Amino acid sequence: MNIEAKVGTFIIVALVVLGVTVYYVGNGQWGHHVTPYKTYLRYAGGVAPGSEVLFGGTTVGRVTAVRVWNRDPTQIEVLLEVKEGTPLNDKSVARLGSISLMSSPVISITTGSQGAQRLRAGQAIASQESVSMDDMMRKLAGIADNAADLMTQVQGELKELSGQAQTLLASLNEATGPANRKQIGEILQRVNALVAQQSPKLDRITDQVLLVSRDADSAINKISPLVDHTDATVANVNSTIDQLRGPIREDLAQLQSTMEQAKSLLASVQTLVRANDDNVRETMDNIRVATDNLDQLTDQVKQRPWSLIRIRQPKDRKVPQ
């Protein structure tokens, strides 16, 4: 056998050995048998055939297909294969995730529960939607807009309430102001002056009635103007009281209306806060999760800065012998 034949034979044998090695290494990594499963997500951004499948953080398989589900166009059907013997169960949940910020998206599956029933081949894995940054920003923007509208509405209502309160105080000041007090004082002075002025006449008339009964008609005629004048004075007092009663009633009615509006405003604010309570709580939970993830990422970068470029740590070099 010549040298060319030997070289050709060596190359063929090397290719066969390389193919067999690749085949066995592939089977050793992924297992000779894999089990198919599927899951459904509303958002599967970045997931493609070949994407990794993690079970409890460890790589157990690959995504085989990503397509729109023909039964429900709002769901994305993700087909995947995992190593045979992977303990997927009814409590396992699949969600869209990633190993790091620089890595591609993966399908992350939780370990579930020890006592849960194992899933059979081809069954659907329960899924949970992950909150994206776009959804979080939209929720924060909506809450900010609602808060701004609420503050604007509250400021307008407070200005209106302040104006009504000032109007009420002005009305009360006017009702009990110096002008009305002066008018009542003048009326009382007139009454006192009238009583002081007519007292001697009443005494003389009484004496004349006792002494001379025949002058009773003339005494009654003299008393009649005094009685009429007194009736007019009493009528003036009643009129003044009626004039004061009307504005006070109106002011009280305005005060009652203002209180009802304030109660309605407080009820509206309480309803709005209750309506956004779940959104605020969910947003705060998402922000807390994002903060924890950023803390974990910072610790990971501090401890393993090479993870920003490589997924796995390079092996240590062997000391040459």
Please list the pLDDT of the chain residue by residue as tens digits (321 residues): 567 676 677 788 788 777 766 555 555 554 458 899 999 998 888 889 999 999 988 899 999 999 999 999 899 999 999 998 899 999 999 998 887 767 788 999 999 998 899 999 999 999 988 766 566 667 777 776 776 777 777 777 777 777 777 787 777 676 666 776 677 677 777 777 777 777 777 677 767 767 766 665 665 666 666 666 767 776 776 777 777 777 788 878 888 888 888 888 888 877 877 777 777 778 788 888 888 888 887 887 777 766 666 556 556 666 665
**Burial of 312 from C-beta contacts in 10 A (0-12 / 13-18 / 19+):** exposed
* DSSP output for 105-131: EEEEE----TTSPBPPTTPEEEE-PPP
The total of other beta-carbon atoms located within 10 Å of residue 56's CB is 13
Contact between residue 230 and residue 194 where contact means Cβ atoms under 8 Å apart: yes
Rg (CA), the chain: 48
- Per the confidence metrics, is the pTM higher than 0.75? no
| CB burial readout 36-55, b (16+ within 10 A) else e | ebbbbbeebeebeeebbbbb
E strand or H helix at 182, and its extent? helix 178-211
User: How far is it, in rounded angstroms, from Cα 148 to Cα 145?
Assistant: 5
Measured over the CA atoms of residue 203, residue 204, residue 209 and residue 215, the dihedral's sign is negative
